[in-house]
Structure 1
């Protein structure tokens, strides 16, 4: 399937503000792009890209006084297959984990393993290791949290979500990641596009989405605690330990978000 995706985002500011943006499709999907992916700004400002330690394409720019609009649109080819389900995938012993995977067992900004380890083992200590354990965590988080955009806040951590029982997709991901790490399963945060083409009906205004990946049997697998079933059409933008590593925009000064339009749909004209 060809998927048309993009965004039109605007910020206002009374002064020039440096910005870091993870608004490009992840480099691992570059081969799937069927049109050029170029970020435009109004007014036009210099842009500089680099690849961070997680493989994300990061764009540096400075928002001028008054504000800026950032936009991008592209067409990408996607197999549109559901997330892979491998019920017999085994949990890797800690001693056998690759060095580069160990990072995803540690506490991070939004994933406080030290505050939830006791709860995690109390909830899931009896569950067989491997895929069954991850799915038990995902299902529990899915039913534990009530989705509510009004409950979102940038400071909310997995520990907060555990107790408040309400949040948005990134909160589902943070709590599931933390519980997986507490159970010695490496887990990392993902963000990107996830449209509604595989759903029977529209679910509201389009937004970027968050999910996560776990390391089982020598590879990474996708899980989604908000939806709790295999979805189709994910377009990865950024990965990291949590949302702090994969923030779509980070501003180094006071700004106000004034427009946030995201689209993802089937490109029937391709």
Structure 2
């Protein structure tokens, strides 16, 4: 890790089994040309899994005050930092324990199968997921299948076989429509396309930014969750990592809600980014048809 190493740790609980533990880190370096307010989403979502974590920030090697933490949806946390001119370093590390004792996130469906407000939000079109533009395609490709799980699994399989994973093939402003037109993308684009097609098929779906042990090359990763049978199920059309190893960072309508860094005021340029994510023991093998809940 770069930057200063204060002794302070935010959270600590007794460790559970060492099997299936997780260690995640992220190191960022920015050049700040004009004092800047920056929002970071690097910390893992708040849950009982966190054994220990720390966040260190410094400018030109001098530690800065601890960033202000804001609570986001689904346990996500956003940190606000005011950075002076200079070289800003941000280092995050978290150790997580075995997740088996936790319950998957879910909401009861009201009488008459009416949607909750949360589900309604994730059924609507959003910036990168214009689901209202692809209803015809979605119905033509998947409408003959039974609603719910069969359609979502078919969507994931369709994306996996139809879209090529090509590093650097998309731009930050590309939407799911661009991915459909070019037939290529990265994890962010795969997730956006899955969300878009699910919403077009009347299945609430949402974006999740995650740490992903086993990803090669290592970086932040993106998957999507679909509301099926009273709970959120996790899907990854890239099929590059085991879903059971994933660690949630941020959740939202699409990538606009889950950026790892957002310069709100001032001028700051990202110079370097290094992400690591590991498991203790063997990396699990993923069954694409299995139910997986993201914690």
State the shift of 1:96 in Å: 2.4
Aligned to 1:144: 162
Say whether 1:34 aligns with 2:51.
yes
Moved more, 47-56 or 239-248: 47-56
Count of aligned pairs between the two proteins: 251
1:239 equivalent among 251, 263, 270? 251
Aligned to 2:261: 249
State the shift of 1:230 in Å: 5.4
Say whether the 8 Å CA contact 1:194–1:264 is kept in structure 2. yes
Q: How does 1:4-15 map to 2 (within 5 A)?
A: 4-15=23-34
Q: Which blocks of at least 5 consecutive residues in structure 1 are unaligned?
A: 85-90, 197-202
Could you say if the C-alpha distance between residues 13 and 152 of structure 1 is closer, same or farther in structure 2, counting changes exceeding 3 Å? farther
Say whether 1:103 aligns with 2:121.
yes
Say whether the 8 Å CA contact 1:139–1:228 is kept in structure 2. no
Moved more, 250-259 or 235-244: 250-259
Could you say if the C-alpha distance between residues 158 and 254 of structure 1 is closer, same or farther in structure 2, counting changes exceeding 3 Å? farther
Q: How does 1:106-117 map to 2 (within 5 A)?
A: 106-117=124-135
2:150 equivalent among 132, 143, 164? 132
2:84 equivalent among 48, 59, 64? 64
Say whether the 8 Å CA contact 2:187–2:222 is kept in structure 1. yes
SS of corresponding position for 1:177:
helix
Q: For 1:206 and 1:256, how far apart are their aligned partners in 2?
A: 21
Say whether the 8 Å CA contact 1:92–1:216 is kept in structure 2. no
Could you say if the C-alpha distance between residues 49 and 185 of structure 1 is closer, same or farther in structure 2, counting changes exceeding 3 Å? same
Q: How does 1:131-210 map to 2 (within 5 A)?
A: 131-196=149-214, 204-210=216-222
2:64 equivalent among 23, 38, 45? 45
TM-score (norm 2): 0.79
Q: For 1:257 and 1:11, how far apart are their aligned partners in 2?
A: 4
Say whether the 8 Å CA contact 1:94–1:184 is kept in structure 2. no
Aligned to 1:118: 136
Aligned Cα root-mean-square deviation (Å): 2.4
SS of corresponding position for 2:210:
strand
1:126-150 Cα shifts (integer Å, max 9, x gaps) = 1111211100001111112111121
State the shift of 1:51 in Å: 0.9
Q: Which blocks of at least 5 consecutive residues in structure 2 are unaligned?
A: 1-19, 282-295
TM-score (norm 1): 0.85
SS of corresponding position for 1:220:
strand
Could you say if the C-alpha distance between residues 54 and 147 of structure 1 is closer, same or farther in structure 2, counting changes exceeding 3 Å? same
Say whether 1:226 aligns with 2:243.
no
Aligned to 1:199: none
SS of corresponding position for 1:15:
strand
Say whether 1:76 aligns with 2:84.
no
Point out which structure has higher relative CO (alpha carbons under 8 A, 6+ apart): 1
Say whether the 8 Å CA contact 2:30–2:272 is kept in structure 1. yes
SS of corresponding position for 2:191:
helix
